Amino acid sequence: MSRLSFHRVLGLAALLVLLAGLPFLSTAQAQEQRFLEFQGVLGDRDPAPPNCSFWHELWPQFCRESHQDQWHDANGDGNLSACDFLEFDGIRYHVDWVGPTFVFQDCQFFLEPTGDFNPFNPMCELWEVVYPNHGQIFHVDEWIDANGDGRVSPCDLFRFSGFPTFCHLDDIRLNVRITEAIPPQGCYLCCPTDGLILIDPAGAGVTALDLNGDGMVNVTDFAIFASRYLTQDHCADFSCDGVVSLPDFAIFASHFGHGPGQICECH
């Protein structure tokens, strides 16, 4: 056995161990998350704010205004939702989360749910302060349905843990949490139809983590990837560093088992 073959076998054995223990290893580069709220009124049947809308930033730069250039429905569900893309002022952003912002003017803060929000019974939920004390967590101790409509809506009253008085809910607004979609090394992107893809440095041609095109990142794709390990094969060089190696495996492992609705985990 040649030295290259020996190292290749040894490397693949190590990768198999890593694949078993770290199937969802994260390789995302940390990007600053922005919290924006829609300034207009979204109708019940509107899938998303129309292009040319303006959004108000809550964090990290309070009151900064952003112009919505484009909305890309990346997951094809027909609504603005996580994994879509929004372009603001010429910059493309990945939508990490979509949900409500609760405005309490008398208590002087903006809150968002930290988990699933139940509009008919928010008791005991944990809500996060977006502004001004970003990251502070409040427990919903009491909810008074002041207008009697059976759901959380403006004019309702809330008592939060550690807060001495009831807080009056003034408004509920559409909010998104977004991160700038900067591809590592300029080649790791997300495509609305093909999921996670690569674009070569010259901008020509694409390859997918779903190497055999069956709609899943699975053991078949791993076998293909393994056959190309320690080669210069472009289709498996997900990190675009010129060789199929451990960084490429980390990217592959982070999406192992994902299908079309999950592959679009963009960076």
Share of the chain above pLDDT 90, in %: 40
The more confidently predicted of residues 22 and 54 is 54
**What is the value of pTM for the model shown?**
0.60
Residue in 91, 71, 95 with CA at minimum distance from that of residue 83: 95
Per-range mean pLDDT, top range of 29-38, 55-64, 70-79, 227-236? 55-64
Domains and CATH numbers, the chain: 3-28+184-263 (1.10.1330.10), 31-181 (no CATH)
Q: How do residues 100-119 score in pLDDT, each as one tens digit? A: 999 999 999 999 999 889 99
Instruction: Examine the pLDDT at 20 and tell me if it is beyond 70.
Output: no
